[in-house]
Structure 1
Amino acid sequence: MNRPPSNILGKGWLYCTVFLTGAAVMVIELLGTRLIAPFYGASLYVWTSLISVTLIALALGYYWGGVWADRARSGLSLIIAIAGLLTIIIPWLTGPVLLATDPLGLRLGSFVSTLILFSPSLIMLGMVGPFAVKLSTATLAKVGASTGSIYAVSTVGSVIGTLFLGFYLFPVVGSREIFIGLGIALLLLAIIVAYIEHRHLKSAATTIPTALLVVIGIGLYPQIANSNRAESNESFQTRFERESLYGWVRVIDKPKENIRLLTVDASTIGAASISHGENLLAYQKIVTLLPALAPEMKRALLIGQGAGHMAMTLKDYGIVTDTLEIDPAVAEASIKFFGFVPTGKTIIGDARYEIRQLKGPYDLIILDVFTGGSEPTHLLTVEALAQLRDLLTNQGILALNFVSFLDNGQNATLASVAKTLAQVFPHQQVFIADPDTDFNDFIFLATNHAMNLNDESFPDSHRTWLKQRLVNIDQSQGMTLTDNLSALERLQIRKSEHYRRMIIDLVGTNHFIR
């Protein structure tokens, strides 16, 4: 009579196995967004897709793993080997899958691409738990304790994997390299488990298939490691590339058009001419007019530094500008490739935290984080705007740039922005960067005092420019955005789709595939 596997081996090797595979699950889930985000953006929809796919895959894995465990004495090594091979080829498949799902749009495209890329390996990793429970259970009376122990250890592995990835590994190693390394680690784990199964469980049924998968995975490594690189294109050149915690930062030159772009994932946050370095983003021209609205302006805060053009423009008017940028890679690129020279403090961090540390007061605060990419919804709520208001002088101005459609002043998103600002500031005026285009940058100027554009002290050229771009927003179409409830991403779906298509048309889809 054969003794139960747990009596022969103990449970240590099983605990190590489920610990490591539990960590692998979270690594795949977290890193999945870094492969998808450059193409579809790091929006709520991408995160929702990845979490949903992870849960679906694990549910299927739990079920199929239980069925397999009831029918076979061994096979854990084969399961892990399949998971390893499926993981190592994820970077290889990313480009073709993203291109194939592109016509499906932002929400469905991100979900389907996530389902195709990550569910196979996650299903296999989900199968490990039930199989380990079967191997660890000596008697029916101990099945509860065995099951609880296995899934507890797996969960601890997931926690450790999450912390190790986020705090230590990802800041220094690229996402593609981590995926490939994880796949190889799973293949090596499969070899160890196969050895245990062969020597102690006296089962060699899965040894040869496992070894074959390991050989295939290792053999594919050179090709996978060099796959999915952006195709060479004479129309543009990549001058800088850095994968940060917050996105894929790139500086892209288009020499024939004399344009240099600063992008994060599929969002452009800076543009300048290559020859002279002058700013090419039309909406930022309003910065040259703001000092005339408040002649005593001396100190400013720029949230969303980007290429730093607005801060450098304010310097020409004798205004010292503190800059606040969440991404250190953006700050580095702005200095190296756009000639940004700080005039005030340079702060790296998330705005909601950092503004609580600032003392103020500021004569001008520019909130320029709502570009065409993902929406940092936590920075456009009543609570966030109230924090900014408290940093302003009595005659201070909050300038907020926002990308959307005009829709003859009936756009619900613009109405929501205006309505939210109205909860904090008694006065506001809205300007459109280009009066001839419906999809546009909109500049909201919010103050505690009324601004008179007819003031004779205001230069005629400035007055004309602003009046030509003054728009009326029907606030009745909007909702007040709060920390508790903000529908900004839902309201901006059409904008996100349109903007993403514009950027892809500008530099091509392959340029946003990891």
Structure 2
Amino acid sequence: MHASSTWNERFLLLVVFLSGVGTLGIEMVMPRLMAPFFGTSQPIWAVVIGMTLAYLAAGYWLGGRLADRRPDERLLFWLIAWAGFLCAIIPLIARPVLLWAQMGLRHVAAGSFLGALIVVVLLFAAPVTMMAMVGPFAIRLQLRRMAAGIEVAGRTVGTISALSTVGSILGTFLTVLLFIPLIGTSATLFLFAAFLVGLALVGLRDWRVGLLLLAVAGLFVLHGRFDSGIKSADCRGCRLVAEAESSYNYIQVADQEVHYHDGTIDQRRVLILNEGQAIHSVYRLKFRATGDPLDLLTDGGPWDYFAVAPYFYPALHPDEVQSMAMLGSAAGSIPKQFLAIYGPETRIDAVEIDPVIIAKGRQYFDLEDLDPAFPNYQTYAQDARYWLATNEGRYDVIGMDAYHQPYIPFHLTTVEFFQQVRERLTPRGVAVVNAGRPASGDDRLVNALASTMLAVFPEVYIIDTRFSNAILVGVNQPVGDGVANFVHNSANMAILAAEEPRYRALQLVMYWSLNEGRFGPVRPFSPAEARFAPFTDDWAPVEWLIDGLIFREAVGGF
């Protein structure tokens, strides 16, 4: 009898540990499930963490009360079984619920926050709350079994809390580092569903729990049969080519047809991430046939302007531009333009934190970094700032486009970061930042970044694209009248392009910069224009600033 009791106690402790694995595993699936629709910004994480804590609090309270009323081990296992079964329902109803929340709140201020809140409440409240009931229920069962009773209450509570926490840690890492990258979000939910129902089946040995396990398997088959992907291509005129989930992003590759006024159709391949608020890479497929750098230009998108950034220096010849580091290279649009214009021997170090994006770039965007024809092109799957701090190279251009829409990693906006950038520039090098601006022209983010760069670089210039983005250029040494230099270099580029056709792309983009910027021509950013204190590693309220932009756009600029 004593041996049986000891075995039951140990098994109950194992159940607590394994339940902790399932609880945090389910929580870590939440942001991945919502990323394609609402992104991965801090407000979304606030929803996930805040509501999870609310469900845990409710589960602890309910579990304690229920355990005092019915301290029955079988009831505990039934809670686990039904929590697992409810997890298996989530993948089947998630897409319509997510689409409904996204579309219904897209015109509402803070719509992504409210949509994510609704989704978490509808999809995850029941299973997470039920799993939270396991801990207090187990404590009550253990205390009932122990002859010492209240004398070992502290030790019992401490042991069960520790086991649950260690299980939660394991569930977090297994989900993020193994399950989601290997099998995807939906399959991970089905895995946890089967795991929890299977755990209950071992504890209950009841044929009805076996039926629940068969139901989970049936739901998995049903989902696989009718699943058409996470969502359709997130851009106008696009056809989905591929989609993938990584540890960092939900990724879409799509083919897009752009129709011009003269009736021609331009075939493009685009990279879209997470909620689809922006296109992160563009590849005009006609370049495969022509090899002409002009056919890589994107009608004045931000990718086009990085190659012309060095021409604020006086009398600069293209032969002097020999190297580039691209922080946030995505599928390689900017390096591809650079190589086509400046030649295949150009040294390019591209940094992209997501290895799955790099793989998709090689598969669908003709990424050249493994091509022997481009011997000095390498791609690194690392965080941009870490790579910059551990790299010793010097570059003529350091480009920065590692900013996920709509939010920006704060550590890539600070004085300390731009100081590291400047240390890696050649004497006549430039730092180039793609800064987003809403269609209304609200330039607070542009001004904040330019103000911070001006605290590091002797001069900062603004190139307004033909779209709403601004390209910020910091020069490593004073250039005098940088705009006059740019105008002179533009005129000289027309002469060079007549002799070397690949420079026609530079000539055209420089013309756009001087004449067709949406908010004005190339201009310097003066200290008198700076409206923000420079951002630092200690103080960089980027999220607060962008939340203000989103709110202003949502209420129509009032």
Same structural fold, with TM-score higher than 0.5 when normalized by the shorter chain: yes
Structure-2 residue corresponding to 1:121 = 127
Q: Which residue of 2 aligns with 1:453?
A: 483
Deviation readout 1:165-184 (Å, 9 max, x if unpaired): 33333332212111111101
What is the percent sequence identity of the aligned residues? 27
> Any residues of structure 2 matched to 1:76-115 within 5 Å, and which?
76-102=76-102, 103-104=104-105, 105-115=111-121
Q: CA deviation at 1:122?
A: 0.7
Q: 1:423-462 maps to which residues of 2 (within 5 A)? A: 423-434=455-466, 440-451=468-479, 452-455=482-485, 457-460=488-491
TM alignment of 1:168-207, pairs within 5 A? 168-195=178-205
C-alpha contact 2:310 2:429 (8 A) present in aligned 1: no
Number of the residue aligned with 1:378: 411
CA shift at 1:403, angstroms? 1.2
Query: In the alignment, does 2:326 pair up with 1:302?
Result: yes
Q: CA deviation at 1:418?
A: 1.3
Corresponding residue for residue 279 of structure 2: 268
Distance 1:79 1:489 in 2: 40
Other structure's SS at 1:345 match = strand
Classify 1:170/1:211 alpha carbon distance in 2 versus 1 (closer, same or farther; 3 Å): closer
- Does residue 388 of structure 1 match 2:387? no
The letter of the residue matching 2:513 is L
Greater displacement, 86-95 / 7-16: 7-16
Q: CA deviation at 1:226?
A: 4.1
Question: Within 5 Å, which residues of 2 pair with 1:85-484?
Answer: 85-102=85-102, 103-104=104-105, 105-137=111-143, 138=146, 139-195=149-205, 210=209, 213-230=212-229, 236-255=238-257, 258-265=267-274, 266=276, 267-276=278-287, 278-280=296-298, 282-293=301-312, 294-295=316-317, 296-315=320-339, 316-318=341-343, 319-342=346-369, 343-370=376-403, 372-405=405-438, 411-434=443-466, 440-451=468-479, 452-455=482-485, 457-460=488-491, 464-468=511-515, 469-470=521-522, 475-484=529-538
Please give the alpha-carbon distance, in whole angstroms, between the structure 1 residues aligned to 2:232 and 2:199: 38
SS in 2 for 1:482: coil
Q: How big is the shift at 1:443? A: 0.1
Q: CA deviation at 1:320?
A: 2.0
- Cα drift, residue 212 of structure 1: 5.4
The CA deviation at 1:291 is 4.8
| More deviation, 177-186/142-151 | 142-151
Deviation at 1:5, TM superposition (A): 12
Change (3 A) 1:496 1:262: farther
Query: Which whole-Å deviations, capped at 9, do the CAs of 1:222-252 have from their partners, x for residues lacking one?
Result: 2234455347799643323221111122211
Letter in 2 for 1:167: L
Amino acid at match of 2:445: T
Q: CA deviation at 1:475?
A: 4.5
- CA shift at 1:46, angstroms? 1.5
Contact 2:396–2:426 under 8 Å retained in 1: yes
Would you say the 8 A contact 1:382–1:424 is kept in 2? Answer: yes
Offset of residue 355 of structure 1: 1.0
What displacement does 1:287 show?
A: 3.0
8 Å CA contact retained: 1:426, 1:447: yes
Tell whether the 8 Å contact from 2:368 to 2:377 is kept in structure 1 after alignment: no
CA contact (8 A) 2:425 2:476 kept: no
Q: What letter matches 1:263 in structure 2? A: I
* 1:93-139 Cα deviation digits (max 9, x unpaired): 21122122223311111222122222221101000011111111122
Equivalent positions of 1:34-53 (< 5 A) are 34-53=32-51
**Equivalent-residue separation in structure 2 for 1:57 and 1:29 (angstroms):** 11
Amino acid of the structure 2 residue aligned with 1:283: P
Q: Relative CO higher for 1 or 2, CA cutoff 8 Å, sep ≥ 6?
A: 1
Q: Which runs of 5+ in 1 are unaligned?
A: 196-206, 501-514
Whole-angstrom CA distance in 2 between matches of 1:219 and 1:314: 52
> 1:440-471 CA distances to partner (integer Å, 9 max, x unpaired)?
11100011333422137412375653333336
Letter in 1 for 2:222: Q
Aligned residue in 2 for 1:505: none
Write out per-residue CA displacement over residues 238-281 of structure 1, whole angstroms, 9 at most, x where no aligned residue. 32322111112221113575232111222421123344463426
Q: Which residue of 2 aligns with 1:488?
A: 542
Q: 1:471 to 1:305 in 2, by over 3 A?
A: same
CA distance in 2, matches of 1:333, 1:218: 32
Give the direction of change, closer, same or farther, for the CA distance of 1:236–1:344 in structure 2 (3 Å limit).
Answer: closer
**SS of 2:242's equivalent?**
strand
Structure 2 portions without partners, runs of 5+: 106-110, 260-266, 289-295, 370-375, 495-506, 516-520
Name the SS for the 1:172 alignment partner: helix
Q: Aligned pairs, how many?
A: 482
SS at match of 1:21: helix
Residues 153, 467 of structure 1: alpha-carbon distance in 2 compared, 3 angstrom cutoff: same
Q: Which amino acid aligns with 2:113?
A: R
Counterpart position of 1:67: 65
Letter in 2 for 1:290: A
| Cα displacement string for residues 176-209 of structure 1 (whole angstroms, at most 9, x for unaligned residues) | 11111110110111111213xxxxxxxxxxx576
The superposition leaves residues 39-67 of structure 1 with CA deviations (integer Å, 9 ceiling, x where unpaired) of 11111111111111110000000000111
CA distance in 1, matches of 2:216, 2:378: 50
Rounded Cα–Cα distance in structure 2 between residues aligned with 1:6 and 1:428? 76
3-state DSSP of counterpart to 1:458: helix
Q: 1:381 touches 1:483 (CA, 8 Å); kept in 2? A: yes
Greater CA deviation, 77-86 or 471-480?
Answer: 471-480
Q: CA deviation at 1:421?
A: 1.0
TM-score of the aligned structures, taking structure 1 as reference length: 0.86
In the alignment, structure 1 residue 27 sits paired with structure 2 residue 25: yes
Which residue identity does 1:77 align to in structure 2? Answer: F
Q: Secondary structure at the match of 2:156?
A: helix
Q: For 1:44, give the aligned amino acid.
A: Q
Pick closer, same or farther for the CA change 1:332–1:212 going to 2, 3 Å: closer
Distance in 2 separating the partners of 1:119 and 1:131: 19
Letter in 2 for 1:223: L
Stretch deviating more after TM superposition (466-475 or 394-403): 466-475
Quick one: structure 1 residues 292 and 10, their matched pair in 2 at CA, closer, same or farther if it must change by over 3 Å?
Answer: same
Please state how far the C-alpha of 1:407 moved relative to its aligned partner.
Answer: 5.3
TM-score by length of 2: 0.79
